[in-house]
Amino acid sequence: MKNISIILFLVFAMLSGCKKENDRAFDQTPEQRLTASLKKYQDLLEGASNGWKAVVQTDSGRGLSYGFYFKFDNRNRVTMYSDFEPGSASTPKESSYRLKALQQVSLLFDTYSYIHVLADPDPRVAGGEVGNGYGVDFEFFFDGGNSRDTINMIGIKNGSKARFIRATKEEADAYNSGNLSNSIKFPELYNSIFTYWKSVTINGVNYQVIVSSDSRSVVINWIGSNGQPQTFTSSFYYTSLGIEFYDALINGTVVIKGFSNFSLNAADGSINVIANNTTTSLKGIANPIYVDINAAKRWWDFSVAEDDFWFSSNGFHVNGIDDAFGIGNLPGFSGLFYGANYVTLPTGQGDALLFSGQYGPIMSSPPEFTVNGRIIIKNSGFRYVEPAGTPTNPINNTRNKMNDPVGYYLVQTGPNSYDMVVASPSNATSWITWIF
């Protein structure tokens, strides 16, 4: 009996196996689907007759954004520009690429080009980190959410996020005219406005704009229609027409994707830009539109909590001059450090302002935090004595600036970076950037 039932079952299985022939999850074999997928992406990439403007954001989308332009052909060749330096922004470079079926369909830039410069583990090439470069990928798999005009990809090795956006003819022509090398001069133009606070007016709303070129990030604040302050942060990269935000700012019908077609307005020193498809100007303002009143305390508390220093590579920026006090010329200078609640003095606690992490004045701790968000730092009178022969002007000028009686506003420009700006309209041309 048992034997019979087994045989019956087998026969049934055999028949149903045949009947199900056209009822598979997919109509085609894996190989057919893979081949179709490879062809689909190949057609997509080479089908963009004006090429692709692209952004690669390192560290799974938390790091810096770098802008590229790619034009793919049907013979495994790609021509590119990158926004990393003037040469790569103005001179096209041809190299090879291929689409390959790895675990997913992937795009490999398989001989060296501008994108590899940012992945080069040799610091002599582009100054990246030894053994790691800037953490940019050159092998990507295609991520979801792709359309005819946008391709999202993820870096296989380091998890960079890449986004390709189909370029317009205007953009492509501008790349091929070397205009990307003009765009990367935006920080120069931006810094030609000496006041820290800057704004653009779009559709009657004033937007406070803070661009940090080192970290390629932008912070925009405005007062919403509900009267509440709004904050937008994004990393940015350069395109042939200007700077473009990784995420777009959306405020009702206003969509700010970046600033393009910028030029200096010689008459009043402002910068003409196109934003939200309208011409406007970026101009200096003496008073901030918005200050994060908790930022100063947050900045100070972070150093205490981490038991470590804030770092500035070149000290104060004053009236358009980086390192206005020349601290970079101090012998063996390795940076300016601020350690909150760092030392115990006979008179109480002290914050240390250390040049090269070794010598400098000690400030009274904690500093004063005002209700409107200022930090006021006072000298304790104590100091870590500098080595004999060290010039004292850079030290004393920096100390006096830190002790500005008006105090400072802090602006958070990234997860671990703040700008500290003198909180008076007349001196809002002085600031220092702290990173952790």
Partner 1 sequence: MKFIKKFILYSVMYVSVISCGKEDDLGEVGDIPGLGGDTWARTYIDTYITDSLTKPFNVAVKYKWDPHEVSNQYILRDFVPPKEEVVIPLLSSLKNVWATPYIAETDSLFFKTYAPKFFTLYGSAIYNPANNTRVLGIAEGGKKINLLEVNTFKTVQMAGYKATDSVQLKMAFHTVHHEAAHILHQTVLYPAEYRRLSAGKYTTNWVNDTDEDARTDGFITAYSKQDPNEDFVEMVSMLLTEGEEGFKNLLDSINRVSPVGMTPNQARSVLRQKETIVVNYFKTVWDIDFYSLQRRVRIATKSYIYP
Q: Which is nearer to partner 1, 34 or 321 (CB)?
A: 34
- Which are the contacts of 44, defined by CB distance < 8 A and separation ≥ 6? 146, 148, 151
Residue 386 engages partner 1 in binding (rule: CB under 8 A): no
Q: Which is nearer to partner 1, 3 or 147 (CB)?
A: 3
Smallest gap, in angstroms, from Cβ of residue 68 to partner 1?
Answer: 16
Binding residues for partner 1 restricted to 17-36, rule: CB under 8 A: 17-18, 21, 29, 31-32, 34-35
Q: Which is nearer to partner 1, 140 or 431 (CB)?
A: 140
Residue 199 contacts residue 283 (beta carbons within 8 Å) = yes
The two three-digit tokens of residue 338, written as one number: 């601020």
Q: Which is nearer to partner 1, 108 or 264 (CB)?
A: 108
What is the rounded CA–CA span in Å between residue 370 and residue 168? 50
Residue 191 engages partner 1 in binding (rule: CB under 8 A): no
Map residues 114-133 to x or -, x wherever contact with partner 1 holds by CB under 8 A: --x--xxxx--x----xxxx
Smallest gap, in angstroms, from Cβ of residue 306 to partner 1?
Answer: 24
Distance spanning both ends of the chain, measured CA to CA: 79
Helices vs strands, H then E, count in the chain: 11, 28
DSSP state of 295: H
Q: Which is nearer to partner 1, 17 or 144 (CB)?
A: 17
Smallest gap, in angstroms, from Cβ of residue 217 to partner 1?
Answer: 24
Smallest gap, in angstroms, from Cβ of residue 19 to partner 1?
Answer: 9
| Binding residue for partner 1, selected from 42, 79, 96, 416, defined by CB under 8 A | 96
Local structure of 93: helix, strand or coil: strand
What is the rounded CA–CA span in Å between residue 421 and residue 428? 6
What is the rounded CA–CA span in Å between residue 199 and residue 403? 28
In the numeric block, the tokens 């920080």 are attached to 187
In the numeric block, the tokens 């604040």 are attached to 221
- What is the arrangement of strands in the sheet containing 105-108, beginning at the earlier edge strand? 93-96, 77-82, 65-72, 52-57, 161-166, 150-155, 139-142, 105-108, 98-101
Residue 101 engages partner 1 in binding (rule: CB under 8 A): yes
| Binding residue for partner 1, selected from 109, 186, 236, 355, defined by CB under 8 A | 109
Binding residues for partner 1 restricted to 59-88, rule: CB under 8 A: 74-77
Local structure of 197: helix, strand or coil: coil
Residue 212 contacts residue 218 (beta carbons within 8 Å) = yes
Residue 10 engages partner 1 in binding (rule: CB under 8 A): yes
Candidates 102-110, 328-336, 378-386, 417-425 — which segment interacts with partner 1 by CB under 8 A?
102-110
What is the rounded CA–CA span in Å between residue 65 and residue 135? 11
Map residues 394-413 to x or -, x wherever contact with partner 1 holds by CB under 8 A: --------------------
Smallest gap, in angstroms, from Cβ of residue 101 to partner 1?
Answer: 5
| Binding residue for partner 1, selected from 42, 50, 79, 111, defined by CB under 8 A | 111
What is the rounded CA–CA span in Å between residue 419 and residue 188? 18
Residue 279 engages partner 1 in binding (rule: CB under 8 A): no
CA-only gyration radius of the chain, Å: 28
Binding region for partner 1 (CB under 8 A): 3, 6, 10-11, 13-14, 17-18, 21, 29, 31-32, 34-35, 38, 74-77, 95-96, 98, 100-101, 108-112, 116, 119-122, 125, 130-133, 138-139, 157-158
